[in-house]
Structure 1
Amino acid sequence: MSFHQKYFFGLMVFFMGVDPLCNIALAIETAPVVKVESRSPLSVSLLERGVKHNISISKKINDEIEGVYTDLHLQDLNGDGVHEVVATLENHGGVNQCSKAYVVNLSDYSLDNLVFDSGPLCNYKIYHKYLISSYREGAIWREDVYKIEGRTAQVVFADSCIGCGEVVRRKYDLRGNYFQYLARDSRDFEKRSPILAIVSSMRAEVFSSPVVLSRKYLTRGDKVIVIQVDDSRSDISWVKFRYEGEIITDGWVKCDDIDYCNSL
């Protein structure tokens, strides 16, 4: 056998061995494909590694969708490659176009509700790894920012009064606890940074509540996060704050003791 024959024979053997490995890798990397087979009654299937599975749908989910939600579509809400089922209501000229979302449970091939605890899912949009729900409640706009992990929608920020000049923000941790403070107003939720104030008095007394003095003090130059402003009293305005120094301090200071009140 000549050199060229040996060379091409070796290449054939190499590619014959590689091709099955590539097919295996592609099968592993390809995300399961969700398909809506029927809208009434709702029927959903999942194609996973070449095998088709019929998705079990409870009567409760069928009843809440059928005849109520006119728009039914598939969308990958969390970026994992597996599409969720999204049912959207007609808004009939209103500002809130709200939806329900359902996730396919790959462990038992059922359809589960994706629950949004902070508020309704309306006028939603996807930004990077975040799902943002924006809706008007009464006269104010609210925006809830979620991260979706599996079947759980974990709220990260809950912002109210978008467009009011200052936003009331709740920042949540993984356990569902939140810290509420005032943030700068912006259409972009990532630009809603905490409103900071600097102590302008030489020594600012800290109160556990308005007019109830504690034994704590802030000094000129200390930076505090503004949580709330209380100007309901005619004699003096108060600011609820958090000071994140070596020790976290929460309390109230007189408005005159910080520079923030100069802009009010």
Structure 2
Amino acid sequence: MTLRRVVSVAGLSLILCFFSSLINAESSLPVLKIDGRKPLAISVDIQGRSHPLTLPPEFLKETEDLYGDAYIRDLNGDGIGEVIFPLEGGSVNNCSKVLQYRAVDNSLSELAFKEGSLCNFKVGQGYVTSSYRDGSVWKEYIYRFREGLAEIEVIDSCVGCGEIKREVHNTDGAIAQFLVSDNVDFRLRVPLTSSVSSSKATIFLSPEASKKTKKYLVDGDKIALLDFIKDDEGEDWVKFRYVGIVVTEGWVKCTDLKYCDER
């Protein structure tokens, strides 16, 4: 009985020690604060000591009189907030500039994004999604943070159009392009495929009748859909990839595909 109590007390001590270390780790993280609005003053609290931070001159020059009230939010999940500067004057596109704290030299630097600003953004599941409307078309940029940098992973174009054009940016610099299904959640968008419905689907080098080749697909062949386009005559074309003995890419008329028959 005494041995059980000793083991129980030892186990409880380990648990308390673990949670205590977590609390201490969190309390040792730098905490950014906005001390004043006009003029803007930002500081960082490190283990109870406050240090003023200087804003990058070029950043100030670019955003002066353009941003609303700055605020702090952790974008990358590291427990240290970023400084968000909402730019005024936007309508549908509510865009922001972002400053990131650099512990190595106790400074602030602008966090770079592919499209320049972060627009209508959402944070979750380790990703930051920036949405931008160009005309009537929405485009989404999906970022993941690595070593303090916002790296683009996915660009989805024509969100809400039915079919979405996706670019996947790999860490080695390679870019894969294909079509995915439409969904509010980018993680639930799946690659589009189809089977050939005509007895003989001629393959074209480009979406032009004059670019006909001697190659063709046959009824039942399954293909991945890479792109859609409508030509000046109103003909719908599909860029595809077929994986057989060899990998074949090209264009076919949409009317030759089961997917288009069901649209």
Tell me if both proteins adopt one fold, taking TM over 0.5 as the criterion. Answer: yes
1:174-193 paired onto structure 2 within 5 Å: 174-193=171-190
Residue equivalent to 2:237: 238
Q: 1:181 & 1:224 partners in 2: Cα distance?
A: 11
Contact 1:72 1:85 in 2 (8 A): yes
1:211-250 paired onto structure 2 within 5 Å: 211-212=210-211, 218-232=217-231, 234=233, 237-244=236-243, 247-250=246-249
TM-score for both structures, normalised by structure 2: 0.78
Residue equivalent to 1:255: 254
Give the deviation of 1:102 after TM superposition: 0.9
Q: 1:141 & 1:185 partners in 2: Cα distance?
A: 12
Residue equivalent to 2:153: 156
Residue equivalent to 2:43: 45
TM-score for both structures, normalised by structure 1: 0.78
The one-letter code matched in structure 2 to 1:167 is: I
Residues 198-257 of structure 1 show CA distances to partners (whole Å, capped at 9, x for unaligned) of 123455443333444557554543322222234426596532112356754321223343
Which 5+ residue runs of structure 2 have no aligned equivalent? Answer: 1-8
Residue equivalent to 1:89: 87
Residue equivalent to 1:8: none
1:71 alignment partner, SS class: coil
Q: Structure 2 vs 1, CA of residues 244 and 28 (structure 1 numbering), >3 Å: closer, same or farther?
A: farther
Q: 1:246 & 1:55 partners in 2: Cα distance?
A: 61
Which 5+ residue runs of structure 1 have no aligned equivalent? Answer: 1-10
Contact 1:55 1:104 in 2 (8 A): no
Residue equivalent to 2:4: none
How many positions carry a matched residue from both structures?
253
The one-letter code matched in structure 2 to 1:258 is: L
Matched, 1:59 2:52: no
Matched, 1:165 2:165: no
Give the deviation of 1:73 after TM superposition: 0.2
Give the deviation of 1:45 after TM superposition: 2.2
Q: 1:183 & 1:21 partners in 2: Cα distance?
A: 44
Q: 1:104 & 1:178 partners in 2: Cα distance?
A: 30
1:68 alignment partner, SS class: coil
The one-letter code matched in structure 2 to 1:71 is: D
1:61 alignment partner, SS class: helix
Residue equivalent to 2:139: 142
Q: Structure 2 vs 1, CA of residues 166 and 24 (structure 1 numbering), >3 Å: closer, same or farther?
A: closer
Residue equivalent to 1:196: 193
1:101 alignment partner, SS class: strand
1:136 alignment partner, SS class: strand
Contact 1:197 1:260 in 2 (8 A): yes
Match of 2:114 among 102, 114, 117: 117
RMSD over aligned CA atoms reads: 3.4
Contact 1:199 1:221 in 2 (8 A): yes
Give the % identical residues.
38
Residues 21-73 of structure 1 show CA distances to partners (whole Å, capped at 9, x for unaligned) of 98766444443211122333433222234444433422122333443212200
Residue equivalent to 1:68: 66
Compare CA radii of gyration and give the structure with the larger one.
1
Give the deviation of 1:142 after TM superposition: 1.9
Residue equivalent to 1:126: 123
Contact 2:132 2:139 in 1 (8 A): yes
